[in-house]
Structure 1
Amino acid sequence: MSNINELTTENSTLCLIDHQPWVAFPINSISPEHLTNNVLAIAKTAKAMNVPTVLSTINGKSGPLKDPLFQGLSALWPDVEPIDRHNTNAWSDAAFVDAVKAKGRKKLVMAGLWTEVCLAQTVLSALKDGYQVYFIADASGGLSPESHERACQRMIQAGAIPMSWFAVAAEWTPDNTAPEYPAMYPIALQHGGGVQWAVEYILANLPGQQS
């Protein structure tokens, strides 16, 4: 597999690892607002574009207290039970690996908490098993900016490909004439920052929208 080949909705699987309130509480590499925004943005994009997604939690329901997925993620997949684990490396959990293999795709797009622990360990293990792994740096978070950056460097040195949520979304939606493309408009308007102005411009110039 070449890392030159772009991601498509047909060749990749999204893996969201441990986006949980208690796990996120000590994150210091990204603001809570930006983390939540970016995670929900890529999750909504995957759902809108029918990209298969694997959700996982760590001690989400098996510990003394429950620590579920972010509410926004649960709302997107209300009927999906996340794969709950006890170990930090999701790739060492048979149910997680089986779920990934069942999707039948060798390109994995991963984001998770914490960058330096659960995400990095999972990325490295998937690479060793022959998968091509992309990680979404701005939908992940570490205990400090330094710790997050060192973990990103570690994954890059091992062969993983760094991405942002918007870069992944753009590769998944290269053709703005595709029938599914309009599903991206509300996502960009809500989560895209300054991109929302471009979307407003596009919408204002669609047939039937001119005053």
Structure 2
Amino acid sequence: MTITATPTPGKSLISPTDHMLVLIDFQSQMSFATKSIAPELLRNNAALVSRAAKAFGVPAILTTVAQKSFSGPMYDEITDAFPGQALIDRTSMNTWEDANVIAEVNRIGKERIVFAGLWTSVCIVGPVASSIDQGFDAYFIADACGDISDEAHERACQRMIQLGAKPMTALQYMLELQRDWARTETYDATTGIAKQFGGAYGLGITYAKSMFGASEGSH
């Protein structure tokens, strides 16, 4: 049998319209014990993911646990990207067991869900495992998650992958949304977010534009 290639994206690649983003427990108390990723990198990656989702119009759910009584506010890097959006506060460690969150999941109505948050082994594994059991297509942004140790984070990632979840990184998430530099309507937003939060890649964009007037879409 002859296989014919076509210039079309794979079905497992995400697009701005085929998923929702769920950001879980990016809060002070959860961050204090997070050791698998440096706090400044975690905050940077959370900002990158949040701004990418906002720029591409991805519906997002922002949820916290015991915000006022124990865990503290959600990162400004996230709430600033979604001004005025209400946070869903929970008592359950597993986001998927909160009726208010599930009501929002059903309202948005996407079968593909991208998760990120703290901690990987509890607050991310819980909803990932639960959503997969109910037929959802789950992804997680590994470098926008963190845990109390490298071991805890890595075992949690392995467990989710074994369940069928797909791992991503923060920069990968944004670039997969853009995917074609000819998409001019989101070009400036994507390169702007990359310059601010994209690390060495962002520096490269700034250098190329400053020194040569180059752009990603040029040949």
Preserved CA contact (<8 Å) 2:46 2:77: no
Corresponding residue number in structure 1 for 2:191: 185
Whole-angstrom CA distance in 1 between matches of 2:209 and 2:102: 41
Q: Deviations over 1:149-175 (max 9, x none)?
A: 000001000110111011111111012
Deviation at residue 55 of structure 1 after TM alignment: 0.4
CA RMSD of aligned residues (A): 1.6
2:38 corresponds to 1:6: no
Q: Runs in 1 of length 4+ with deviation above 6 angstroms? A: none
Within 5 A, what are the aligned runs for 1:1-211? 4-61=11-68, 63=69, 65=70, 67-178=72-183, 179-200=185-206, 201-202=208-209, 204-205=212-213
| Structure 1 unpaired stretches of 5+ | none
Equivalent residue, structure 1, for 2:3: none
TM-score by length of structure 1 reads 0.91
Separation in 1, partners of 2:71, 2:158: 32
- Normalising by the residue count of structure 2, what TM-score does the alignment of the two structures yield? 0.88
- Identical amino acids, percent of aligned pairs: 37
Inter-CA distance 130–202: structure 2 relative to 1 (3 Å threshold): farther
Deviation at 1:125, TM superposition (A): 0.3
Number of residue-to-residue matches in the alignment: 203
Q: Which runs of 5+ in 2 are unaligned?
A: 1-9
Aligned-pair CA distance for 1:26: 0.3
- Residue type at the aligned position of 2:213: N
Secondary structure of the corresponding residue to residue 53 of structure 2:
helix
- CA distance in 1 between partners of 2:117 and 2:199 (Å): 22
Q: Which residue in the other structure is 2:7 paired with? A: none
1:10 and 1:81 map into 2 onto residues whose CA distance is: 21
Shift of 1:5: 2.1
Name the CA distance, whole Å, in 2 between partners of 1:89 and 1:182.
37
Q: State the Cα deviation string for residues 105-125 of structure 1 (Å, max 9, x = none).
A: 111010010000111111100
Question: Distance between the aligned counterparts of 1:185 and 1:176, measured in 2?
Answer: 10
SS at match of 2:29: helix
> Aligned residue for 2:4?
none
Provide the C-alpha distance between the structure 1 equivalents of 2:83 and 2:56, rounded to a whole number of angstroms: 18
Q: Map Cα deviations across residues 126-171 of structure 1 (whole Å, 9 max, x no partner).
A: 1111110000010000010001000000100011011101111111
